[in-house]
Amino acid sequence: MRFFLTFLIVVLSIFGFKDKDLYSSKDKLLIEIISYVIEKGHYDPREINDDFSEKVFNKYLENIDGQHRFFLESDIKNFARFKFEIDDQIKNADLEFFNLSYEVILKRIDQVKSFYKELLITPFDFSKDENINLDYKNQSYYISQVQLKKYWRSRLKLSTLDRFTTKKEEENDKFKKDSLYQIKSDQILEEESRKITLENMNYFFQNYSEFTRKDWFSIYLNSIVEQFDPHTFYFAPSDKDRFDTSMSGKFEGIGARLTKRNQEVKIVEIISGGPLWKDKLLEVGDIILKVGQKNEEPVDISGMRLDDAVKLIKGPKGTEVFLTVKKIDGTISLVTVVRDIVELEETYAKSSIIKTKENFYGLIELPKFYVDFKNYKERNAAVDVKKEINELKKRNVKGIILDLRNNGGGSLKAVVDMTGFFIKTGPVVQVKSTGGKKEILSDFDANVFWDGPLVVLVNEFSASASEIIAAALQDYKRAIVIGSKQTFGKGTVQNMVDLNRIISSNTYGDLGALKVTTDKFYRINGGSTQLEGVKSDIIFPNRYKYVEIGEKDQDNPLKWDKISPANYATWEKALNYDYSLKKSKERLINNYYFKLIDEQAKWIKKQQENFSYSLNYEIYNLKREEDNMYSKRFEQLKEYESSYDFEWVNEFVIGDSIPTDLLEKRERWQESLKKDLYVSEAIEVLKDLNKSLSNSYKIANNKK
């Protein structure tokens, strides 16, 4: 990638001097650069032709108005002339289709804004037999504003009916608890419900009003790049900042999560360990009115987009920011905050001791393979997991569960390093890059940080880096993988290309970045995890079993294939896996809870396929009651509780004060582990592995 970027900078710098008129706007510049980067850097670039154009056309309309809330049929017919011309417009940096669609969507949004409040003035009659169908994919666009207005009325009525039904239930519950309670009339409940719908719609259109042209253009660009594969994605500057924060688990700022509603920027969470938490400067519910920098006049942020307000508040560690704040009690005060590094603890690895009658076991939960792109030596997933392993070893655990459920991936280097903790040396993953070059990424450190029984927990949302480590440990016969039938199936690697580095001079400001698929990874046995994922050794039923989830259900995924296997040897201390697998399958067959989960999964699938809703209260409520009655049988799943005790491994140094909210989160985590069927079965598998290990030891001694 470094060679590719250097080459690209030279080419485009020269090209830019030859034809500066080509860069007459930032949008055209972005199309030129992104097209070139994909053509030269994507793993499997596709021909930009009429077929490509049609797919972009359909995807773009789906992205900006997939629910048919704004466009009319006449608009779609007007756009249709561009259906097979977008490929030519991309090649010529022509923005005619985007410009037209942008003008029309703004016009249509304004039209809906002009009448939605009117629709909420008149009370809804829930005694009428009306229906609404929300199967957008199979619905046509509306012919006229009259039809669209009627559709919006039905949507608003459904939202209000749902709240009205909930309020009636709450009123009846209050009366059951207190026979003297005066139940509110249906008229009052309908009015209250309609008011809530209005408030939500005001908030909905407030968010739309903050959308700028560049936001809409980002949608257009991503409708183009997503045709190459689901993971090639354009990040506008603010989106890139959020991506970096999510990958590193930290940022520089004041340590608060903010929301904006009714032109007010409000604090909704104080992040543990951040400046606000340490100095107890602000609290949840406080409203930030103005933001000032040193030697500058404070800026009123009430009319700003939330992203722009956040940019003013965040800043380098050690710098000051001056906040004019309206406190919960109504007082106005000026608060000075010294910015610092804020770490999002919930994104990091954490571990728990599991106490059984015979032994201790350990569980390490890893939400993602986080890394600081600017400095790998800073906190990253591999370093943290090694610390957790060492802490568990101090407690003399007899087995470890590595929980990768819902782990969407992250750093490739971190996953290679982490796999090495469980094997001596050898290949971890094979990577095939743009142009067909193959590379084997290996662990060269002979130290094994954990050589005991190991179970890897996965589900349909375990993807990318999670699949690499699960596949490698499975191929080495180093661990038993248990979970869903297969993992997500993302067998590709992306690199982030900073578009600002592409041209020598840039007068347009920050151009953002392109996450582009540059590599495909393969197991050490030669098979790709693309589409097929990692198949579990022990398959658990779960509530998403019958729902379409995974790479194979995405648009434009790369194909599955295989290459020659790497040279590797299976784990020399291989346990009697057959015994453990056999015992687990016997337990699953006879487990009532797992049978119930499978039934629940079928019911969820059925619910998702229902798009029609009655707007009559009696019919709507009857369906709701039937659903509630049926779903109650699944509440038995909440009753499950394992016989094992769980103890959070405290990562804080002795003497450190543990944030109260973090302590509460950890305690809740321990409670959730105790009620986790999948964790319980993983413990049983570890116990069986220990039995087989003990039996193998006895046999070996007898032979001597």
pLDDT tens readout for residues 27-70:
999 999 999 999 989 999 999 999 999 999 999 999 999 999 99
Residues 339, 356 within the same domain: no
Question: What phi and psi values does residue 481 have, to the nearest 5 degrees?
Answer: -95, 120
- If pLDDT is split at 50, 70 and 90, which confidence band does 485 have? very high
Half-sphere exposure of 343 (CA within 13 A, CB side): 12
CA distances 24 to 8, 16, 29, Å, are 20, 11, 8
Please report the pLDDT score of residue 206 as a whole number. Answer: 87
Task: Establish whether 229 is a catalytic residue.
Answer: no
Residues 278, 371 within the same domain: no
Please report the pLDDT score of residue 8 as a whole number. Answer: 45
Q: CATH number for the domain including 277?
A: 2.30.42.10
What is the DSSP pairing of strand 256-261 with strand 264-270? antiparallel
Task: Establish whether 53 is a catalytic residue.
Answer: no
The residue with greater pLDDT, 306 or 426, is 426
Residues 192, 182 within the same domain: yes
- End-of-domain residue from the set 284, 318, 343: 343
Quick check: 352 pLDDT over 90? yes
CB atoms near residue 300 (< 10 Å): 11
pLDDT tens by residue, 625-682? 998 888 888 888 888 999 999 998 876 555 566 767 778 788 888 999 999 999 999 9
Region 393-416: what's the mean pLDDT?
93
| Residues 353, 192: Cα–Cα separation, whole Å | 49
pLDDT tens by residue, 541-568? 888 888 888 899 889 999 999 999 999 9
Tokens of 450: 């954990």
CB atoms near residue 448 (< 10 Å): 17
Return the SS3 of 70.
Answer: coil
Quick check: 196 pLDDT over 60? yes
Give me the chain's average pLDDT, please: 87
Q: Residue 496 domain-assigned?
A: yes
- Highest-scoring range by mean pLDDT, 269-273, 421-425, 495-499, 502-506: 421-425
- If pLDDT is split at 50, 70 and 90, which confidence band does 105 have? very high
Return the SS3 of 426.
Answer: strand
Task: Establish whether 464 is a catalytic residue.
Answer: yes
Q: Residue 236 domain-assigned?
A: no
Angle 2-18/26-41 helices, nearest 10 degrees? 140
| Residues 16, 564: Cα–Cα separation, whole Å | 43
Q: CATH number for the domain including 509?
A: 3.90.226.10
Residues 323, 370 within the same domain: no
Residues 302, 327 within the same domain: yes
Range of the domain at 283: 250-343
pLDDT tens by residue, 574-608? 667 888 999 999 999 888 998 899 898 888 888 88
| Residues 450, 560: Cα–Cα separation, whole Å | 33
Point out the least confidently predicted range of 9-13, 100-104, 443-447, 666-670. Answer: 9-13
Residues 443, 571 within the same domain: yes
Please report the pLDDT score of residue 146 as a whole number. Answer: 95
Please report the pLDDT score of residue 508 as a whole number. Answer: 73
Residues 333, 387 within the same domain: no
End-to-end CA, the chain: 56
The answer to whether residues 492 and 517 touch, using CB atoms and an 8 Å cutoff, is yes
Residues 494, 627 within the same domain: yes
The answer to whether residues 33 and 503 touch, using CB atoms and an 8 Å cutoff, is yes
Q: Residue 254 domain-assigned?
A: yes
Residues 265, 383 within the same domain: no
Please report the pLDDT score of residue 307 as a whole number. Answer: 81
- If pLDDT is split at 50, 70 and 90, which confidence band does 20 have? very low
Q: Which of 490, 545, 583, 687 is catalytic?
A: 490
Percent of the chain's residues with pLDDT above 70: 89
Q: Which of 27, 417, 475, 676 is catalytic?
A: 475
- End-of-domain residue from the set 195, 227, 259: 227
Residues 599, 622 within the same domain: yes
The answer to whether residues 317 and 343 touch, using CB atoms and an 8 Å cutoff, is no
Please report the pLDDT score of residue 702 as a whole number. Answer: 40
Quick check: 16 pLDDT over 50? no
The residue with greater pLDDT, 683 or 437, is 683
Quick check: 429 pLDDT over 90? yes
- Work out the widest C-alpha separation in the chain, in whole angstroms: 90
Please report the pLDDT score of residue 4 as a whole number. Answer: 44
Question: What phi and psi values does residue 449 have, to the nearest 5 degrees?
Answer: -80, -25
| Residues 691, 472: Cα–Cα separation, whole Å | 24
Percent of the chain's residues with pLDDT above 90: 56
- If pLDDT is split at 50, 70 and 90, which confidence band does 246 have? low
Q: Residue 178 domain-assigned?
A: yes
The residue with greater pLDDT, 699 or 682, is 682
Quick check: 342 pLDDT over 80? no
Q: Residue 472 domain-assigned?
A: yes
pTM for the whole structure = 0.83
pLDDT tens by residue, 154-164? 999 999 999 99
Quick check: 106 pLDDT over 50? yes
Please report the pLDDT score of residue 651 as a whole number. Answer: 65
| Residues 134, 234: Cα–Cα separation, whole Å | 30
Q: Which of 193, 218, 272, 464 is catalytic?
A: 464
Q: Residue 10 domain-assigned?
A: no
Q: Residue 478 domain-assigned?
A: yes
- End-of-domain residue from the set 311, 343, 375: 343
Q: Residue 195 domain-assigned?
A: yes
Q: Count up the domains in the chain and report the number.
A: 3
Residues 598, 639 within the same domain: yes
Residues 316, 436 within the same domain: no
